[in-house]
Amino acid sequence: MAKTKGRVTLPSEGNFLNETKEMMDRWGADALRDSDGTKLPEEVKALDASVYTTYFVARGHNEFAKEHMEECQQMYLMSLRVTAVKDTVEIPFMEGYFGQQVAPDYVHDCKTWWEVMDRTSGEPVALDSWDVDEAGNIVTVRHALPFHEYTVSFLVYALWDPTQMYNHITNDWGDKPHEIPFDVRQPASGRFAREYLIQWLKDNPKTDVVRFTTFFYHFTLVFNDKAKEKFVDWFGYGATVSVKALEEFEQEYGYRLRPEDIVDNGYYNSTFRVPTRQYLDYMDFIQRFVAKKAGELVALVHEAGREAMMFLGDNWIGTEPYGTYFPNIGLDAVVGSVGGGATLRLISDIPGVKYTEGRFLPYFFPDTFYEGNDPCVEARENWLGARRALMRKPLDRIGYGGYLSLAYKFPEFVDYIEKVTDEFREIYDNIGGSRPYCGLKVAVLNCWGKLRSWQSFMVAHALWYKQTYSYFGMLESLSGMSADVVFLSFDDILNRGIPDDIDVIINAGAAGTAFSGGDAWLNEELVTRIRRFVYEGGGFVGIGEPSAAHFGGRFFQLADVLGVDKELGFSLSTDKYFTEEQPHHFLREDRKTGFDFGEGVKNIYALSADTEIGEFSDGEIHLSAHPYGKGRGVYIAGLPYSYENTRLLLRSIYYSAGQEDRMKRWYADNPLCEVHAYPETKKYAIVNNSGDAQKTAVYDGTGSCQMLCLEGSQILWGSM
Shortest distance, position 83 Cβ to a copy of itself, whole Å: 6
Query: Are 326 and 294 spatial neighbours (Cβ–Cβ below 8 Å)?
Result: no
Does residue 85 touch a copy of itself according to CB under 8 A?
yes
Query: Are 125 and 169 spatial neighbours (Cβ–Cβ below 8 Å)?
Result: no
Binders in 621-680 for a copy of itself, by CB under 8 A? 629
Tell how strand 333-337 and strand 564-566 pair up: unpaired
Q: Which is nearer to a copy of itself, 121 or 171 (CB)?
A: 121
Q: Tell me the C-alpha distance between 313 and 295, whole Å.
A: 18
- From the candidates 105, 161, 264, 314, which is the catalytic residue? 314
First and final CA of the chain: distance in angstroms? 20
Neighbours of 602 (CB within 10 A): 12
The strand order across the sheet containing 130-133 reads 89-91, 138-141, 130-133
Residue from 170, 574, 706, 719 binding a copy of itself (CB under 8 A): 574
Q: Is 314 a catalytic residue?
A: yes
Q: Tell me the C-alpha distance between 132 and 148, whole Å.
A: 19
Task: Spell out, one character per residue from 31 to 70, where the chain touches a copy of itself: x when CB under 8 A holds, - when not.
Answer: ----------------------------------------
Shortest distance, position 619 Cβ to a copy of itself, whole Å: 5
Does residue 229 touch a copy of itself according to CB under 8 A?
yes
Binders in 507-526 for a copy of itself, by CB under 8 A? 509-510, 512-513, 524
Q: Which is nearer to a copy of itself, 4 or 617 (CB)?
A: 617
Shortest distance, position 8 Cβ to a copy of itself, whole Å: 35
Helix, strand or coil for residue 366? coil
Query: Are 212 and 308 spatial neighbours (Cβ–Cβ below 8 Å)?
Result: yes
Query: Residue 43: which residues within 8 A CB-CB, separation 6 or more?
Result: 17
Alpha helices in 218-363 (DSSP H): 243-253, 259-263, 277-303, 326-329, 341-348
Tell how strand 504-509 and strand 612-617 pair up: unpaired
Does residue 233 touch a copy of itself according to CB under 8 A?
yes
Stretch that binds a copy of itself, among 60-68, 239-247, 486-494, 570-578 (CB under 8 A): 570-578
Binders in 361-400 for a copy of itself, by CB under 8 A? none
Query: Are 357 and 309 spatial neighbours (Cβ–Cβ below 8 Å)?
Result: yes
Stretch that binds a copy of itself, among 275-283, 343-351, 357-365, 462-470 (CB under 8 A): 462-470
Of 314, 125, 100, the residue nearest 225 (C-alpha): 100
Does residue 148 touch a copy of itself according to CB under 8 A?
yes
CA atoms in the 13 A half-sphere facing the CB of 77 = 28
Does residue 610 touch a copy of itself according to CB under 8 A?
no
Residue from 46, 107, 299, 572 binding a copy of itself (CB under 8 A): 572
Of 125, 92, 127, the residue nearest 111 (C-alpha): 127
Shortest distance, position 223 Cβ to a copy of itself, whole Å: 10
Query: Which of 348-385 are b and which e, b meaning 16 or more Cβ less than 10 Å from the residue's Cβ?
Result: bbbeebebbbbbbbbbbeeebbeeeeebbebbbebbbb
Of 618, 599, 362, 332, the residue nearest 473 (C-alpha): 599
Q: Which is nearer to a copy of itself, 126 or 460 (CB)?
A: 460
Q: Which is nearer to a copy of itself, 266 or 718 (CB)?
A: 266
Does residue 704 touch a copy of itself according to CB under 8 A?
no
Alpha helices in 432-523 (DSSP H): 469-479, 490-496
Does residue 527 touch a copy of itself according to CB under 8 A?
yes
Q: Tell me the C-alpha distance between 138 and 126, whole Å.
A: 17
Helix, strand or coil for residue 451? helix
Dihedral (Cα; 99, 102, 104, 108), 10-degree rounding: 160
Shortest distance, position 151 Cβ to a copy of itself, whole Å: 8
Binders in 474-503 for a copy of itself, by CB under 8 A? none
Does residue 535 touch a copy of itself according to CB under 8 A?
yes
Q: Which is nearer to a copy of itself, 258 or 288 (CB)?
A: 258
Q: Which is nearer to a copy of itself, 146 or 205 (CB)?
A: 146
Q: Which is nearer to a copy of itself, 404 or 561 (CB)?
A: 561
Q: Which is nearer to a copy of itself, 78 or 180 (CB)?
A: 78
Tell me the longest C-alpha to C-alpha distance in the chain: 80
Does residue 129 touch a copy of itself according to CB under 8 A?
no
Does residue 266 touch a copy of itself according to CB under 8 A?
yes
Q: Which is nearer to a copy of itself, 62 or 121 (CB)?
A: 121
Q: Which residues of this protein are in contact with a copy of itself, per CB under 8 A?
A: 81, 83, 85, 119-122, 145-149, 220, 224, 228-233, 236, 265-268, 270, 272-273, 459-460, 465-468, 509-510, 512-513, 524, 527-529, 531-532, 535, 550-554, 560, 567-575, 577, 599, 602-603, 618-620, 629
* Active site residues per annotation: 314
